[in-house]
Chain A
Amino acid sequence: MISKRFARLFAAVITLATPIGAALAGHDEPSVTRQDWSFNGVLGKFDRAQLQRGYQVYSTVCANCHSTRLLSYHNLGQEGGPQFSKEAVEILASKVQVTDGPNEKGEMFQRPARPSDRFPPRFANEQLARLANNGALPPDLSVMAKARPAGPDYIYALLTGYKPAPADMKMTPGMYYNVAFPGHQIAMPPPLMDGVVPYTDGTKKTVDNYARDVSAYLMWAAEPKLEERHQVGVRIMLFLMVFAVIMFLAKRAVWSRMH
């Protein structure tokens, strides 16, 4: 009787924790729908080709304004990520100029990035970033996929959420209407257009694909150990389930001695 009550209490805790978690996640969360990501689920993995395309979208479009300061170029070749080859990582890095120094003359200088370099900041400081972006600050994208409720779903919804503003909505000049953005007015101009990123693997060059690929890429950027976590998790869960059965049988055997 007591254990039943306990089970009920426990169930109540779990069912209540979910809406509380959802409530915690934020209030103004308009029109973000769950997407069917390859990394969802117990054995979910990133889609390598998708991450590679996502990096392409990131580097040709997003990186014009946004930084990803927590990533290094060598991360692009790591297991569980886009897994570009060693040579590809070196080439991708070398396309970017980073500031190094001071040299023996005491001067800072520009050089092509190496795989060990962090992704460089897009703007020298916040003031410059705001100046270049109509007063708005493009946020760093390193952990963006974890820094918003519904993470990658939100990023996808945002990138595909630009619509003409409803007639009754007063828009602030220089702002854009977006169905996914809290408050619906966003300073970022629609960043994606069909065809702007030249995919070479046959994937259709549509806004929808760009948005989906770059959202997956940003999820990897925020959670580079996701695959490892899922893989270790499965093994630990299986072990614990077997262990639990053994413990249950042992418990029953020990207690049956008592009369």
Chain B
Amino acid sequence: MAHKSTYVPTSSFGKWIDARLPIPRLVYDQFGVFPMPRNLNYLWTFGGILTFMLAAQIATGIVLAMHYVPTAEGAFDSVEHIMRDVNWGWLLRYSHAVGASLFFLAAFIHTLRGLYYGSYKEPREVLWILGVLILLLMVATAFMGYSLVWGQMSFWAVTVITNLFSSLDSVVPGLGTKLVEWIWGGFSVGGPTLNRLYALHYLLPFVIAGVVVLHIWALHIPGSNNPAGVEVKSSRDVVPFHPYYTIKDGFAMVLFILLFAVLVFYAPNLLGHSDNYIPANPLVTPPHIVPEWYFLPFYAILRAIPSKLFGVIALVASIGILFFVPWLDTSKVRSTAYRPVYRWFFWAFVLTCFALGYLGSQAPEGWYLILGRVFTFYYFAFFLVVMPVLGRIEKLRALPDSIADSMSRGKKRTAKPAKQLEAV
């Protein structure tokens, strides 16, 4: 939370810079002594992990860009050139590709954590909205990055997704077609399309980095939410960020990098599609066009809606609806731990996301299509019905008085059986 600065520069240079550009003060106040709730669990480590992933993607991406050729003729071969002839090129490219997947894995966990613990609730609405904006930017960036490989899946994913804009033809005849041709820079997906996707893929990560700064700024005004969902009341509730959370975040980050390394070194193509090792061919459509795994739930929603235009609207709404969550959820408490009924709906929502992910990988026929519609319905009902209605009528469990109280309560609960054992 915003707190009075306690930084006292000691060296003469420290005093000099403090009067001019007080970066040491900023670091000390915001990352050194910054008061953090003492009860954060490991789900709170994903913010740090995500920051690391963004930095890793930018670092590997910049070096890849030095060797990549953004032309329809050269793109595929330049990627293979990176894999074969560039020093450590295979490591850079696999890290970047696997990194995108793990970036999304971390972002999904981070978002679901915010959803579970009500981290979007007053006074953290702007913080949440900035987070959703980052997620949207990530989606755009990842989609464009995937296209750059210029394999069959890249090419046809770009064709399918850019063609979505043509659904606007049903609103204003000709508008969608014109828009799509403008995006393509021609009458089909081709070299000009690839070139602009490359330019934007290089731009957007820096936009993300900018919004991340705002996200952290907005976090440091009210301070972190916590598993109990009650605000910090006294100094008994907090610990300084350093060393408590630097070390905890650091430990979690090493574990996450361990998972990252397993994939990069031993299963670098597990999460990719083998068709993307076939060079793009506008004349041959792959039998099943599927996006990367992290887009599958959204893809399932798109295909669950019979009308193209409304399918696109549902697709955009599936992430866009997150912007309104702070006002859709009417509950008085933040943490789902104190919402015995909502908890079931929450886990049903998580299950829905997995189900949609699976359905997104299957052809939308027969039972798959019906199930896709059922889960799409629940996906939106969770936000539009469960959140507003349940918040008003649900009977809540008693909240702890403070964070410190919630922790001693937890201890007492686990201590009890031990006492009984002693009595026996």
Could you list which residues of chain A lie within 8 angstroms of chain B, going by C-beta atoms? 2-3, 6, 9, 12-13, 16-17, 19-21, 23-28, 42, 70, 75, 139, 142-143, 146-149, 151, 222, 224-225, 228-230, 232-234, 236-237, 240-241, 243-244, 247-248, 250-251, 254-255, 258
Contact = CB atoms under 8 A, between A and B. Distances in A.
A119 B146 CA distance: 29
B41 A146 contact: no
B374 interface: no
22 contacts: A2-B41, A3-B41, A3-B42, A6-B43, A9-B109, A20-B358, A21-B270, A23-B358, A23-B362, A26-B288, A28-B287, A148-B274, A151-B274, A232-B265, A240-B254, A240-B257, A243-B254, A244-B258, A247-B247, A247-B254, A251-B251, A258-B239
Contacts of A149: 274
Interface in B255-272: 255, 257-258, 261-262, 264-266, 268-271
Interface of B: 38, 41-43, 77, 80, 83-84, 90-91, 94, 105, 109, 227, 239, 243-244, 247-248, 250-251, 254-255, 257-258, 261-262, 264-266, 268-271, 273-275, 277-278, 287-288, 290, 293, 296, 337, 350, 354, 357-358, 361-363
Contacts of A240: 254, 257-258, 261
A251 B255 contact: no
Given A20-B357, A42-B266, 16 more contacts: A2-B43, A16-B357, A20-B358, A25-B273, A26-B274, A70-B80, A75-B84, A143-B277, A147-B274, A232-B265, A233-B261, A237-B258, A244-B255, A247-B250, A251-B247, A254-B243
A2 B258 contact: no
A234 B293 CA distance: 27
A12 B354 contact: yes
Contacts of B337: 2
Nearest to B358: A20
Closest 8 CB pairs of A and B: A233-B265, A147-B277, A247-B251, A23-B361, A225-B90, A146-B277, A143-B277, A251-B251
Nearest to B262: A237
A27 B363 CA distance: 10
Contacts of A225: 83-84, 90
A230 B90 CA distance: 12
Q: Select the residue from B239, B262, B274, B362 with max chain A CB neighbours within 10 A.
A: B274
B146 to A, nearest CB: 13
Nearest to B292: A24
A91 B83 CA distance: 27
Contacts of A250: 247, 251
A243 to B, nearest CB: 5
Contacts of B266: 42, 230, 233
Q: Select the residue from A12, A142, A147 with max chain B CB neighbours within 10 A.
A: A147
Contacts of B277: 143, 146-147, 222
A39 to B, nearest CB: 12
A244 B265 contact: no
A20 B293 contact: yes
Q: Select the residue from B105, B244, B251 with max chain A CB neighbours within 10 A.
A: B251
B41 A143 contact: no
Contacts of B239: 258
Contact of B251 (A12, A147, A248): A248
A232 B264 CA distance: 11
A229 B263 CA distance: 11
Contacts of A233: 261, 264-266
B84 A236 contact: no
B265 A237 contact: yes
A64 to B, nearest CB: 22
Nearest to B101: A17
Contacts of A2: 41, 43, 227, 337
A27 B361 CA distance: 10
Nearest to B258: A240
B244 A254 contact: yes
B350 A25 contact: no
Nearest to A13: B105
Contacts of B257: 240
A21 B293 CA distance: 8
B1 to A, nearest CB: 19
Contacts of B80: 70, 142-143
Nearest to B112: A9
A258 B38 contact: yes
A251 B350 contact: no
